[in-house]
Structure 1
Amino acid sequence: FNVLFDLHKGTPAYREAVNKVLWEDLDIANTEKVVTMIANGEIEIVEQPLSPIGLWGVTRTKELMQPLRADHMILMALKKRLENETMFASCLFCQNQWRVRVEFAPKRFVCSKCGGIMIAMLKEYDRDNIKLFAKDPETLTAQEKKDVARLRRIANLVNEGGKRAAMTLAGRGVGPESASRILGRSHADEDEFLRDILSAEVLFAKNKRFWD
C-alpha cells in the first residue's frame, strides 16, 4: 500500500483524491469548532470501554486493517509472479543453457554438462550474451566487455544466493547492482525480502518514464 501511495504521490490523480477527501468527505469547519470547545473545556472527554456501536465500526471499517492485509496480498502476488518466471541458466564455462522456472530453482546451481558452478540467470532478451564467453577476450568491444563483467557478477550472485538470487533477478528491471543490495541485506521475514524487490521494481518503473 505504501509503495503504491508513494508511486502516485504528486500526480494529478493524487492531488484530486486529496482535495476530494479534504473538501467533500471531511467537515473541517465543524471539526475546528469541536476541537476548540474541547480545548476550552466546553466538551468533556470521558474514557470508557468500547460500545457495541463502536465495536461494530472498528470491525467493519476496512481502512483500519486493510492496508496491512493489502500489503501482504500484494507481496504474495509478487512472489507468485516471480516464481512463474522462466529464466535461462547459463554456464560461463561451457556456455550451456537450460530453462529454469524460478519456483523450481535449486539451492545451488551446477552445470549438468561440465560441472561448472558459475551460472548466470538470464532473461530471454539477455540470453545471447552468454556467447560472448566463447569469443577471444581481445576481440571484445567496450560494450561487450561490460556485458561480460555484468554476467560474471550475476553468476557470482547466483553462486552465493541460489534460488533466492534467481527470484531477485527475476524482478522487473532488477539488475546485478540492485540484486546485490537486496541480497546483501538482512531480512526478518519473507515479506521484507519481497518488499525490497517490489521497491526496486517501482524505482525502475519511475526511472523508465524518463528513459522512454
Structure 2
Amino acid sequence: MKKYFIAGILVWAPMSVTIWVIAWGLGLLDGVFGSVMQALITIFPNQFAGDLRHFRELPGVGILIVVAVIMITGLLAISFAGQWWLKIWHQFMNRIPIVRSIYSSVQQVSSTLFSGSGQAFSKALLIRYPHADSWAIAFQTGMPAKEVAAKLGEDYVNVFLPTTPNPTSGFFMIVPRANTIELEMSVEAALKHIVSMGSVPPTSSTGLPAVGPNHHL
C-alpha cells in the first residue's frame, strides 16, 4: 500500500503544482479584466451596467479578452507606428512626478526579465543564510548602485534569494563577493533544485560549487 501511495503521489504532485501555477496566473489575468469591467459598470448608465455585469460573469471571458489584448498590443508594439507611440507614451509617463519612479522601475525590470537578451539571473551562487553556519542558493542579479558601492567600499554583488517551493517570492540582498561561492550548475538547474526543496539534484552539471580564487571563506 505504501508503494502504491508513493507512486500515486509521484504522478499527481507535479501535475497538481503545474495546474495550481497556471490557475494562479489565469486568476491574475481574470482579476485585471474584472477591475476594468467594474470601472466600466460604474461609469456607464444603469441600462448598460446590467449587460456588462452579465458579460463579466461569463466563465473564461476575462482571461480570453486579457490575452487577446496583450497579443494585439504586442503586435502593434513591434510595428514602426507602435514604436513611435510607445516612445511618446514613455515620455508622458516619465513626466508624472510620482508615477515616473514606479513606471520606470517596473519597465526596466520587465525588460530585463522578459527580453531575449536580458540577464535577470546571471549565475547561481551559494551565500550564507540565514546565519553564518548555513548556506542557501541565490542568483546574482547585478552590481550595487554607485552610491551603495561607494559607501560600502568593498566588492559587493546584488543577489536574489528565492523561497521554496514558490521561487517567485524571496529577498533582495547585497552581499560581499568574497562571501559567495559561484556554482557550476546552470540557473535553470539551480531553480529546479530550489523548487524541489533540494530533493531533485541538478542534472546539467555535477552540482559541485566552483570555487574561484576570489572566494576567501
Structure whose residues are more often helix by fraction? 1
Whether these two folds match at TM > 0.5 is no
Give the TM-score of the pair, scaled to structure 2: 0.27
Give the TM-score of the pair, scaled to structure 1: 0.28
Structure whose residues are more often strand by fraction? 2
In terms of Rg, which structure is larger?
A: 1
